[in-house]
Structure 1
Amino acid sequence: MKLSPLLLSTLIATAMTSFNLSALDNVALKFEAMDNSRNTLICIASASNNIRKLKALSRMDEYGVRDITENLTCNNTDVTSFAAQYGASKTTKYLSMHAPKKYKINIDDIEIEDIAKNPQGQVIYVVSN
């Protein structure tokens, strides 16, 4: 079957659009803090794949990133798993590099969440423990 140039370009454009949409970081999700603690802000930065903010907040912690990965829970989930749960590959990789063995996550196991499954503007309420 021979594809016409118009059909071929349409297929390519559709494929590129689909790829770009799946690669976006939590576009459909909005993380809302339930309190103003630094730990909750770390949880939100982790889940929203904001590596710059995560590193800045981690530097403020007197015990460092390893302590954060060992002791911080976000919505009753350890912070590294919480980031991975929302497909935040950059922050999961960063946290996992510093985490003790039991909290490490293989970056290849992270799946990009299909944003089409989530209603636009879905809000995830976040609290740290």
Structure 2
Amino acid sequence: MTLTAKILVGIWTSVFAITAQAGEFKENNSIRYVKTCEAAANNDVSALKRLLRIEPYGKQHIVDNVRCNDMSITEFAASNYAVETTALLSRYAEKKQRLAAQAILDNSTAIASR
């Protein structure tokens, strides 16, 4: 790699680093969504209802857009065997998410009964 190419790569890397730092981190939203994922995984229906109630964009926004460990929140609750929170979230989930969550719960029930 020539010196010119190395300099250009260095400048390009610096520009990306500055751009990445320029974005605002919305701490309150991130913390709330982490708590929402935790409530869903821990089968804590009362905490989940409270968090869904205070969501400014509505329950549907949470179910459609929040990802927990790269899964929809409904699938995440099901993968943690949280039957009650999965049922609550499934009310607002798209059919595809409901079916995926139900398949996870059915699979976990089959494994547990062995």
Asked if these proteins are the same fold (TM beyond 0.5), I'd say yes
* Cα distance change, pair 110–87 in 1 and its aligned pair in 2 (3 A): farther
Q: Give TM-score scaled by structure 1 length.
A: 0.55
Normalised to the residue count of structure 2, the TM-score between the two structures is: 0.62
Cα RMSD between the aligned structures?
A: 2.4
1:101 and 2:98 aligned = no
Determine which structure has the larger helix proportion and give its number. 2
Q: Superposed, which structure 2 residues align to 1:29-68 within 5 Å?
A: 37-68=31-62
Gaps of 5+ in 2: 1-29
More strand by share: 1
Query: What count of residue pairs does the alignment treat as equivalent?
Result: 80
Match of 2:78 among 80, 84, 92: 84
Paired residues of 1:42 and 1:54 also in contact (CA < 8 A): yes
Aligned residue identity for 1:92: T
Q: What is the CA–CA distance in structure 1 between the aligned matches of 2:51 and 2:107, rounded to whole Å?
A: 23
Which has the greater radius of gyration?
Answer: 2
Percent identity, aligned pairs only?
A: 35
Give the SS at the match of 1:111: helix
